[in-house]
Each structure stands twice: as structure tokens, then as C-alpha cells.
Amino acid sequence: MAPPRNRRPGFSRRAQYGLFLGYVGLVGGMLVAAGLLLLSIFNPPAFGAVRGFFSEITTPVASAFTWVRTSVAGVPEGVSSYVNVRGENARLKKQIADNELLVERARTLNQENRHLREMLKLHDVSTDAVVVARLVASSMGSTRRYATLNAGGWQGVKAGQPVRQPDGLIGQVVETSPNTARVLLIVDPESIVPVRRTRDGLPAIATGRGDGLLDIRSASVATMIFQPGDTFVTSGTGGIFSPNIPVARVIRTSRDIAVAQPSANPDALDFALVQATFLPDPTPTPSPKPSPSAKPKAGKK
Amino acid sequence: MTDYIPLGRSEKMPRSIWLAPLSVVLGSMTTLLPVVATVPFLPPFGLMMLLAWRLMRGDSMKVWMPVPLGFFDDMLSGQPLGSAMLLWSAAVLMVDVLDTRLVWRDFWQDWLIAGGAIAFVLIGGRLVAAPFTAHVDTALLIQILISAALFPVVARFCAWLDRDKKRQ
């Protein structure tokens, strides 16, 4: 390609000044951008309103794309279910009969559980579902991990609320606009979730790595070694995430940090549930059971 | 484009005057595709369109155009506001400087320049957006390679959009 023609736009003073002012605009814009960048690095929600305005316009497009994707992805399943409907019917009938027994037993257990809980004066914290919506888009090209939810302030979504799927925790709402919300996924490098090990309740902290996995660090001073296969659920510490939402499963360990795979896949064609922010229960929680190592000592004394 | 008409140029405005910014905006809007990604993999199509227009038709856009286009990209991309505004402008400015140094460039040089500019913007964006300890560098490298490999396609697409200019 030949050298560009707009380097010296002829002898017209007007054209020369126009080009010069264009460069002045470019450099001025860069200075403004640097200012905005500093402001948004030190105060990330600073431009939430502006982003919300654009997201109000673009999210319907993303929702339409999602609708297309769900419809197309549902086609093979629809065809196969149509073909297999007869066999499936027989199988399901048999399964219902089998389940009757289990349901009866579960009912008994449930009743017993309720009774025991009443005796312990343990109140269930209601974790109300705010809204069920879909994650319609995400920051695919950026190193940050945000997703867009197609429900917002008008549906009751507020910043700080946790977002989950049946499989586990997905993230937390960081910004809302009237009909859309921005969700910080737990795999984002700046996300931190307080968790505990399901096996023994060991408190830990799950931070995003940025590559789709989580780092688990022990929150206590004890240098407990994590094992591959350990599962972690939210602990409720901090009062944002309600307890016992599955978070991650350890896949490999290194010294005091374990690398874990999140339990929920945010890309699954599934609805996301926005829950109300979990507030700490005012009633005293039952004292934790003495650990097995402490018990023999007490017995000896 | 309206300020002067050099000799031998028709008065009819080429459609790139509105099509170039629009195609960059549409490129930025590819993040609206319904995929919730856990690693960055989508090439920055907005930036690639901008570079393709700038390298193939230097006069298709006003000099200051990367600023508003970068602003729009920042609104959708999830990067902190200002990152694309600053980095896209810097990339275009670098192309401008290279234009004064290179006497002649053909497509291979364009590809090299675009690859360098894409790598510059993506690495710069990673440095301002994600903390230094984040494990995103492998994914970022793959994203840069994919983007550089796709640049010829985007450049062909720009040339196709610009075909009314060729007929004149």
C-alpha cells in the first residue's frame, strides 16, 4: 500500500488544521481515557450507571441470542425424547413405584428432623429466592469474568446478592440497572468466597484464578493439607452468601493452596437463581461439637 | 471528508464513512453472544475491525474515532472504563507513526503490524484489568494467537465492505 494521503492534505490551511485538531482530539481523548481508567481502577462501580444504560440496550439482543441457542440446543433432545417416549414411560412408571417407598421414608425423616430442630431451638434462616433469570452474555474477550443477567432492579435484584444454580454458586451481583444486572463470577481473579470443607467444617477462602478454576486457602492457622476430592460449600461467614451452597471440589494440591474446580458451570443452559443477601442469624448458633482429638484429653483429666 | 475534495476524487462520499464505525461497533458487540465463558477466548473483533480499516483505508475514519469506539467497547467488554479508549487510540497512533516510517507496506506488513497492535492492546488490557497474580496468561496468549490468525479474515471482510470504493 502506498503511503497514506492524509499526511499532508494539500495546501488548504483548513484541511491542515482539521487534521491537526483531529490529532489533538485523539491525544486529548487518550488523556481523558487515562483519567477514567484510573478512576475506574480505584473505584470499580464508578461508572455503573453508564454501563447500565448501555446494558439496558444491548441485553435484549443477548437475550434473543440466548433464546435462539436454547431452542437450537433443545432440538436433538426433543427428537430423541419423542422417539424414546414409550420406553421412557414404562421406565418412569417403574421408577415412581420404587420411589414411593423412599418418599415415605424421607417424610418420616423430615418430620423427625423438624422435631429435633424445634428441640434445639434452631431457626431456619430463610434464604429467599429473589428472581430466577438467565445469564445471557459474558465478558468473553476480557480477563475479568463478568456475566450479564437478564433481570435487574425492577425485578428486585440488588448489588451484593449471590447468584447460584442447582449445582452450586455462580457469583455475586455487582451492578444493577432496571432490567439487567452484572454478575461477578466466582472464577474472577478478584472474587473471594468464604467456604468450609464439608467433611470437617474447616474454614477456607476460595478465590478465583482467572482460568476457570479456584484457589482454596485455609483460613485458619492450622496447616491442614487439602486432599484432592475435598468438597467445599459456602460457610455463611461475612453474611453475603447463605451457607451450604456447593462451591468447588479440589482437583490438585500444592503446599498450602489447593486448586479446585467450581461445582456449577455458568454456561449450562440453566436458570440462575438470585438469592437475597444472607444476613447473620441473630439467634445463637449451637456450639460446635468438640473435635475428636479434644475428647480423649478431657476424658483423661 | 467534507472539508476538501482533492483532484481526481469524486464528490460522492464512500459508504465507509458510516460503515467503518458501524462495523467496529458491531465487532465490539460480539461479546453479546450467549456464551458464559470461564476463560478469555473471544478475539477482540472491534479492535480487529478498527485496525483493518485503519491499515487498508487510512482515511476511512477521523483520527479521533478510536476514542468513542473504545468507549463503546469498554461498555460491553467488562474491562474497566477507559482501557480500550486509551489502548485503541495508542494502537492507532502507533500505526500512524509507523506509516511515516514505512515507505510502502503490503498485506504481510499489515498483518505483522495488526498482530503487534492486538497483542499490545490485549496485554495492556490484562495488566489494567486483572491482578498480577491471576492465572490468565496462557489463555491470553492463546487469545492473542487466535486473534492474529483471524486478522486476514477480518481484513478481507473490511475490503468486502469497502468494495464500492474499488469501483470508482
Domain hosting residue B90, numbered range: 16-163
What pLDDT score was predicted for residue A72? Answer: 87
**Predicted confidence (pLDDT) at residue A280 exceeds the cutoff of 90:** no
**Predicted confidence (pLDDT) at residue A4 exceeds the cutoff of 70:** no
**CA closest to A38 among chain B residues:** B82
Residue B68 in domain: yes
What pLDDT score was predicted for residue B37? Answer: 84
pLDDT averaged over every residue in chain A: 83
Asked whether the beta carbons of residue A141 and residue B40 sit closer than 8 angstroms, the reply is yes
Asked whether the beta carbons of residue B75 and residue A2 sit closer than 8 angstroms, the reply is no
Cβ atoms within 10 Å of B22's Cβ, excluding its own: 13
Residue B101 in domain: yes
Counting every residue, how long is chain A? 301
Query: B103 to chain A, minimum CA–CA distance in Å?
Result: 6
Within 8 A by CB and 6+ apart from A90, the residues are none
**Predicted confidence (pLDDT) at residue A299 exceeds the cutoff of 50:** no
Segment 72-131 of chain B within 8 Å of chain A by CB: 72, 75-83, 85-86, 89-90, 92-93, 99-100, 102-106, 110, 125-126, 128-131
A193 phi and psi angles, rounded to 5 deg: -125, 125
What pLDDT score was predicted for residue A2? Answer: 57
Q: Chain B contact for A94, CB < 8 A?
A: no
Name the pTM for this structure.
0.80
Asked whether the beta carbons of residue B93 and residue A26 sit closer than 8 angstroms, the reply is yes
Q: Among A99-103, A145-149, A235-239, B61-65, name the one with the lowest average pLDDT.
A: A235-239
Q: Chain B contact for A254, CB < 8 A?
A: no
Q: Rounded to whole angstroms, how far apart are CA atoms A181 and B122?
A: 25
ipTM of the complex: 0.83
A130 phi and psi angles, rounded to 5 deg: -85, -50
Domain-by-domain residue ranges, chain A? 13-42, 60-120, 129-275
A129-275: which CATH topology? Thrombin, subunit H (2.40.10)
- Strands, E assignment, chain A: 129-133, 135-138, 146-149, 162-165, 168-176, 181-185, 192-197, 203-208, 214-218, 231-234, 246-254, 257-262, 272-275
Question: What does each C-alpha distance from A112 to A105, A107, A119, A124 come to in angstroms?
Answer: 11, 9, 11, 15
What pLDDT score was predicted for residue A277? Answer: 84
Q: Which of A244, A184, A172, A255 is nearest to A217 (CA)?
A: A255
Report the percent of chain A where pLDDT is more than 70.
Answer: 85
Which residue of A17, A30, A43 is the best one to mutate when testing the B interface, meaning the one whose CB has the most B CBs within 10 A? A30
**Predicted confidence (pLDDT) at residue A295 exceeds the cutoff of 50:** no
Task: Count CB pairs under 8 A between chains A and B.
Answer: 217
Overall number of domains in chain B: 1
Q: Give me the tens of pLDDT residue by residue for chain B, a chain 168 residues long.
A: 456 667 776 666 778 888 999 999 999 999 988 888 888 889 999 999 999 999 988 878 888 999 999 999 999 988 899 999 999 999 999 998 988 888 788 889 999 999 999 999 999 999 998 888 888 889 999 999 999 999 999 999 999 988 875 554
Strand order in the sheet with A162-165: A129-133, A272-275, A162-165, A168-176, A181-185, A146-149, A135-138
What pLDDT score was predicted for residue A232? Answer: 92
